[in-house]
Chains A and B, each alone.
Chain A
Amino acid sequence: MTIDDRDARAPGEPRLMTAAPGPRQTSRDLERYTALFAARTKVMRSSAMRDLMALTERRDIISLAGGLPDTSSFPAESFAAIMGTVAVESTARSLQYGPTEGLSVLKRCIAEVMEEEGTTIDPDDVLVTTGGQQVIDLVCKTLIDPGDVIIAEAPTYPGAVPTFCSYQAEVIQISLDEDGMRIDELEQTLERLDREGRRPKFIYTVPTFQNPAGTTMSLARRHRLVEVVRERELLLLEDNPYGLLRYEGDSLPTLYSLEGGDFVIYLGTFSKILSPGVRLGWSVGPRPVLEKMNIGKQASDLCSSSLTQLFVAAYFESGRWQDYVGSLKEIYRRRRDVMLDSLAECLGAECSWTHPQGGLFIWVTLPDYIDTTDLLALALDEHVAFVPGRAAFLDGRGASSMRLNFSGVGEADIREGVRRIGEVVREQVQLYGTLTGTHPTVDVPAEPAPAEPDAALADVLHLPALERRRRADAREG
C-alpha cells in the first residue's frame, strides 16, 4: 500500500495557483480534447488486455508474460567499471547530443554483432535507433500512408501492432508453420492484391525464433522469400532481435545477407544480447530508405542517447560481449528445456506448442473453445500470467493461443507457472466436457515425456490433421 505524497499545505492554507493539481475535467473539456484528436487515434487500439497485463506486474504473480531478458546475470562490477570508464574518458561527449545516425564507435560494434551472424556491412551504412522498436516506427513513418497494406506474419510481434495501427495501415497476416511464414500463402496474397491493383508497402517478418511463435524460417523459404521480394521489388523488414540466441541447430543466414540489401531493411537491437535498458537498436538497408528514416528520426528524437551509445562501445572495447551472450544462451537454453518438459507434463493431448531452437518464446495453442484472454483472468487468480494470443493478431484470430516467455524467470518459477497454467486449462477442458457431454480426456500423458522432445510432435503450431488425430486418440483412450 502506498500513501500518496500529495499536499503539504497546512490545513486551511489557501492554495497557490502554481501548486494546483491537474485541471478539472468535465465532459465538455473531454469533447474539447477529442475534437482535436487526429483521425489515427481512432484506430490506435488499446485494450482490456492492457489493463489485465498491468496486473501481471504484481510481485506475487509468476509472469511468463513479459519478453524480458535476464539482466540480473550481468556482472555488477563490469557494469560499474564500464560506466566509470565512460564517465572519466567521455564526460562531455556522453552528456552531449550526438549525430542522428549514431556515434561511429557504436556503429563499429554493430558491424561486429552482424558479422557474428555472418552478415557483413559497412559501419557507415548503419542508422542507430532508440531500440529496435524505433526502426518499426521509422519504417512506417517513411512508407505508410493511411490505408496502405503491410504484410505481417500470423501471429506477429504484438509490439508492432500498435505501431502499424497508429499509421492507419491495413495489415494482412500470413500464416506461419514450423518452417516460418508460408511463402505459398504470401504469393497467393500478393497475386490477389495485384488483381485488386494494390501493392503492399512492405513485408514484416521476424524470421528467426519468431516473437511470439518461436518458429524459424527454413533456408528454402528464406531463399524463396528473397526471390519474391526481388521479383516484385517489394521492401522487406527483417526484424532480428534473437538471431544470436540459438540453443540448438545450425544458424541460418539473415534475409539481408541473402538478398544483398537492395530490398531488405534490417532491424537489430542490443536489447536481447546486452540490455533493453540502453534503448539501442539499429537499421541497415537501402540508402534512400535509410535517408528518409534518418529525417524521420530527427523529427522524433534528434538522436539516441550518447551516454548509452558510449556505454555499449566501452563494453565492446572490453572484449567480453560474446562471452556474455554465451552465458545468456546457457541460462536460456536450460529454461527453455524446463519449460518444454513442464508443458509435456502439465498440458493434455488437446494442447500443442512450438519447440523453439532459440529466442525467448513458446507459443501454446489450446482447444478452440478456450479463449486465453478470459483464461488469463482465471490464471491471475492462480498468480500466473501469460500473453493472450489475440495480442499477436489484428484480425481477431489467436483467441485460443498464448505466448509464454522463458527468459525472464527462474527454472523453479517456470515449473510452477506452467503447472498452474496446466491446472486452469484442465479446469476449463473439464467444464467444456461437462457442458457438451463429450468429456475429452484431461489426464496427463501416461507415458513419461521423452527426454528429447519429439520435434515432429512438438514443433507444431496448429496442424489440424494432427490435432484431429490426437483428439481421436484421446477419445479412444
Chain B
Amino acid sequence: MTRVAVLKGGRSLERQVSLKSGARVQDALDRLGYEVVGIDVGHDLVTRLRTLEPDVAFVALHGRDGEDGTVQELLEALGIAYTGSGVSACIRCSDKVIAKHHMRDAGIPTPDFFAFNETAFKELGAADALPAIEERLSFPIVVKPADQGSALGIKFAASAKDVPGALVAAFSYGDKVLLERRIDGRDLAVSVLDGEPLPVVEAVPLGDDFYDFEARYEIGRTEFVCPADLPAALTARAQELAREVWDALGCRGFARIDLMLCDETGELTVLEANAIPGMTETSLLPQAAEAAGMDFDALIERIVALAT
C-alpha cells in the first residue's frame, strides 16, 4: 500500500488554512485506502521523513516555507516524490513580482505594477519616485507584499497620502512589496490540473467589496459560482490564459490562476498563480474539479498520481 505523508501546518501565517487543507486531504486519502500520516512540519521534519520513508509527500502547506520551494528542495534532497510544482515553479509562483515579470515577458496581461524591496527606499531614495509611480498607475492603487498569500497585508490606497502607510503595512509581511494598478471587476479563478484548465470559478463576496481573508475562508461569506456565468468566448479565453501562465511559470501537477475580468474594459487580466491552492471547504480548486465531474477524492487521487 502506498504510504503518503501529508505535510501541513508549519509556522507560516497561513498555518490554520493549511491545517484545514491537510485534514481534508488526509480524510480523502484515508477513504482511498492509502496509508496516511499527517505531519505538522517543524524542526524534526527531515528526521521524521527519514524514519517514515513515505512513497509520496502530499504538500498541503501554504505560505512561507511550504509554498516557496523550501520544503520542495528538502524533499528533492531526500529523494521523496511530492505533489505539485517543483522547486523552481514554486519560487516563481510564490513571489508575485517574479511571476508577474514572467507573465509580462510571455505577453500575458497582468495589471501594471512596480515592485521594490526595503533597501530601495532606505538606500536609494525610492520614495522620491512615488509620485511618478502613482501617476503611472493612477489611483486607487493596490499595495501588497510580494510573497504573502490569502490576501494578508493587501491595502488599497485611494490617494497619495495612503501610500506610505500601505507600504509600511505590506513590508510587515516581507522584504518586497508591489504597487499595482487596481482592477475593478469580477474575481475569477481557473484551476489547472496536469495542464488541463478546469471550469472557471467566480467568487462573489457577500457584503464587503473585497475578497479578503475572511471572505476566503469563512463558510457562507462568499458565494461561489462554478462554472462562472460567462460568455463561452470569455471562458475559453480565461482557460487559455491560465494554461499560458501554467506554461510560463513551469507548473506541475496542479495550480490555481487568479484573474480579474475588468468592468471597464471587459478584458481579462492575471493577478497571480498559486502553486499550492487551498483544499479547504471554501477553496476554489475542489469546486472547479467537481464542476468538471471529479469529486474531491478523485481529485486527490489524481494529484497523488501526478507526484514525482
Residues of A within 8 A of B (CB): 1-4, 6-7, 11-12, 15, 20-22, 24-28, 30, 33-34, 37, 41-42, 45-48, 50-52, 54-55, 58, 369-371, 374-378, 380, 428, 431-432, 434-437
Contacts and interface: CB of A to CB of B under 8 A. Distances in A.
Given A47-B214, A369-B165, 8 more contacts: A1-B42, A2-B39, A21-B27, A26-B296, A37-B220, A374-B173, A380-B13, A432-B165
B15 A51 contact: yes
Given A28-B290, A30-B281, A45 B40 contact: no
Name, among A6, A33, A435, the residue most crowded by chain B CB atoms within 10 Å (CB to CB): A435
B166 to A, nearest CB: 9
Contacts of A55: 11, 13, 15
Contact of B13 (A15, A30, A51, A432): A51
Interface in B23-64: 24, 26-28, 30-31, 33, 35-45, 48
Given A1-B45, A11-B35, A22 B168 contact: no
Given A374-B153, A377-B173, A7 B36 contact: yes
Contact of B224 (A21, A27, A58, A376): A27
A435 B164 contact: yes
B171 interface: yes
B39 A24 contact: no
Contacts of A377: 13, 152-153, 172-173
B165 to A, nearest CB: 4
B172 A428 contact: yes
Interface string B178-208: 0000000000000000000000000000110
Interface string B124-144: 000100100000000000000
B31 A20 contact: yes
Contacts of A437: 127
B287 interface: yes
Contacts of B295: 24, 26
Contacts of A6: 26, 30, 36-38
A238 B164 CA distance: 41
B219 A33 contact: yes
Interface string B260-295: 000000000000000000000110001100100001
Nearest to B288: A27
A27 B279 CA distance: 12
A415 to B, nearest CB: 23
- Residues of B in contact with A, size category: 35 or more
A12 B37 contact: no
Given A1-B45, A3-B48, A374-B169, A24 B15 contact: no
B65 interface: no
A241 to B, nearest CB: 28
B210 interface: no
B218 interface: yes
B297 interface: yes
A21 B27 CA distance: 6
The CB with the most chain B CB atoms within 10 A, among A1, A15, A34, A437, is that of A1
Given A58-B11, A369-B164, A431-B121, A30 B219 contact: yes
Contact of A378 (B11, B127, B172, B287): B172
Contacts of A50: 16
Contacts of B218: 46
B73 interface: no
A45 B208 CA distance: 12
Most chain A beta-carbon contacts within 10 A, residue among B33, B163, B295: B33
A21 B219 contact: no
A37 B173 CA distance: 35
A281 B40 CA distance: 37
B36 A24 contact: no
Given A48-B213, A431-B118, A24 B13 contact: no
B35 A4 contact: no
Contacts of A26: 286, 290, 295-296
Given A34-B219, A55-B15, A377-B173, A431 B168 contact: yes
A42 B33 CA distance: 37
A454 to B, nearest CB: 30
B127 A24 contact: no
B11 to A, nearest CB: 7
B251 to A, nearest CB: 23
A3 B39 contact: yes
A435 B168 contact: yes
A43 B214 CA distance: 12
A33 B219 CA distance: 9
Nearest to B52: A3
17 contacts: A3-B37, A4-B38, A6-B36, A6-B37, A26-B295, A34-B219, A37-B219, A42-B206, A46-B214, A50-B16, A58-B11, A369-B164, A370-B165, A370-B168, A431-B167, A432-B164, A432-B168
B226 interface: yes
Contacts of B153: 374, 377
Nearest to B39: A1
